Amino acid sequence: MAIEIERKFLVAHDDWRSGATDGVLYRQGYLSRHANRSVRVRIAGDRAWLTTKGIISDLSRHEFEYAIPVEDAEQMLEKMCIKSLIEKTRYLVFFAGCTWEVDEFSGENAGLVIAEIELDSEDQEVALPAWLGTEVTDDLRYRNVNLVKQPFSTWTR
């Protein structure tokens, strides 16, 4: 069984950019979203996937991901997904032997930048780069599935 274990952080400043790979545009939407599970369609560059996730804990989820034709994903995003869609550019940043994914959101979530790291276990220790801000792993507002319903641009800050 596939399990995703990850931690999420806000990004405090742009120092991550100096070590980042070229960004890849991601577009994703949700066919179904429930408090404990979701079904997502994602296009990243010239590839697409259908993904189901189910919550195990704050850090862990069951995750099953299947490649699908980009044309099918485009149709699902346009005709079947809950609006709004998630639009972001993902960069990879290598730090202290780990790969961080930095997502710079656009569209209705513009202004939000989140860094994620996938772990091998919930108690795995990782070195935290200086450009990280507040950890938001436990803050449900920052989950993509919730940013569809309540985009960052609508938050009162």
List, by residue number, the catalytic residues: 30
Taking CA atoms, 92 is separated from 24, 37, 108, 110, 122, in Å, by: 9, 26, 23, 19, 21
Strands (E), the chain: 3-11, 24-33, 37-44, 47-55, 60-68, 82-95, 98-105, 113-118, 132-135
Say how far apart CA 69 and CA 75 lie, in whole Å: 10
